[in-house]
Amino acid sequence: MDKHCEAPLHAQDSRLHDTRERGDPIYREWGWSMFRAYERWCRVATGGYQVLNNVESVPPGTGNKMESFWMAETLKYFYLLFSDDPKEVPLDEFVFNTEAHPLAIEGSPTDTRLREALARVHARFRPTLPLSLGLMQRM
């Protein structure tokens, strides 16, 4: 076991998927315990969260940095885990990339709506350049 704790993202990701797929509130409770531990041991007075150098000691040794993925990924998974609306980012319509960005699953209702919206935007803003500029011949 690694003594360091640099906010392991996959633990929060797993709690979200377990809660949504199985419907058992225990996974949400485990996520809340994890969040409380971050608040207790990693939060710094000036804002942000630091890494831990040794999770095997109490109190754990702290590092002097905040991982860049803390805000973008870890807190996003916590937010979704504690959201009361499972339709906020439905897991049957989205997958998360390695940076925790939701991507619509191809063929899902969300994907269809996004593609239709993009087509409308593209049609509206399609450049209409005068042919006299000679730009069309160069393309």
Least Cα distance to 25 among 70, 82, 63 occurs for 82
- Whether 98 has a binding-site annotation, put simply, is yes
Binding-site positions read: 98
Binding-site positions for Ca(2+) read: 98
